[in-house]
Chains A and B, each alone.
Chain A
Amino acid sequence: MNSIASNSSLVRLDGVRFAYGEREILRGVDLTVHRGQVVAIMGGSGCGKTTLLRLIGGQLRAGSGKVEVDGQDLGHLSTRAMYAMRRRMGMLFQFGALFTDMNVFDNVAFPLREHTKLPAELVRDLVLMKLHAVGLRGAQSLMPSELSGGMARRVALARAVALDPMLMLYDEPFAGLDPISLSVTGQLIRRLNDALGAASIMVTHDVMVSLELVDYVYFVSNGVIVAQGTPEEIRKSNDPFVRQFVHAETDGPVPFHYPAPPLANMLDGVAA
């Protein structure tokens, strides 16, 4: 665990349950993230990882249980207080979610212009610094449609950290990136987190890259946390789920087949 502030938790989930209508997604999740930490939440597709991230970002409210960010219970925040909280959060969406009607510079300047009354020259300097940090100062006048997937995500990252957030949320930051962009993005996440003294939570299923850069890992399956530990502990783990996930085995606790009646039963109609 990171030594910076191991006793100060920034995000705490306590018995969180969540359902979309009848369909239960999370069934009692406990999770803690400390300042200075980069934490990965892993699990197969559709296991409730993204829902977890949305709960922490306050986009969804927990059915029961408590989601606490910086000591405040998100379930009881007014819209205004929630917006005040989000000014201190940054979120990187899976495909960047850049505003397509603005160029790179204006995208990164957006949160600064919306939330501060800084003079234009200062905004310009800040934007250039953020773009420099992600290596895209030279791309400032390009439109999002002119960027590659990896570049778009780096611009979105610069935009997400524009207001120096205390908490960064990443939704599948590595999905669909080439190996170079992938390791660049990974390093940026670590570096920005350490430079800002923030905490970062990323939802991912990219095991190898994540284990290299995070401080702690939670495994989610079927709406509960099935395993957790430092990357070292995870690599050594004998838990069948963790083993299957880390070694990418096709069958194990996570079945290859979507639940269905036996094949023979379903083929009867054809045979007859």
Chain B
Amino acid sequence: MPTPAETEALLLSLRVAVWSVLGSLPLAIAIAWLLARTRFPGHALLNGILHIPLVVPPVVIGYLLLVFLGRRGPGGMFLENVFGITLGFTWQGAAIASAIVAFPLMLRAIRQSIEGVDRRLEQAARTLGASPANAFCTVTLPLIAPGVFAGMVLSFARSLGEFGATITFVSSIPGETRTLPLALYAAAQVPGGEAQATRLVVISITLAMIALIGSEWLARRTRHYSSGEP
């Protein structure tokens, strides 16, 4: 059985991953729609910028977050002055770091599924009295549900494994920001920490397998639903 410290890291990882996924989901759907369905100046640039987390090392993302959302960053100062929020050294900050690193994965999955939806169905909905927003919610969204779900699973998995951006942005505080990968890293740094590291590896893999199997099961159900299987 896991020790209290391990349980703490496990629960923290789950909390960070869940909030990172749920928090980025609406934005990912909105931006995916924008990229899939509209053309505007800077379209390619926006797409490129959103994919940066996929190609630069997470540590760099963490550094940029520190510079932008830290106490002395423009975003961080705004949050502190207007809302009284500081992200540094908090699990919310860890969730944001995870969300940004995982964002391109979620975005790609959702965008592709939106591109796969027949726009003519949306037109049909419009002629039947549905406003654009209503057509999106009642026609497009149910049809892209499998893609949205796939994006959520990918992003959840990426969040569970997030290390570099998290440790750089919010450091590694037990119980607050020390998620499983960070705990694993700390254990591996100590001479003789192998046993501890191995236990954490087993926990991580178990968690990943449960998440994967659970998501496969859910995905099958979602597919049935949106493809109109009885």
Does B associate with A? Answer: no
* B residues with CB within 8 A of A: none
Task: Write the residues of chain A forming the contact surface with B, with a CB cutoff of 8 angstroms.
Answer: none
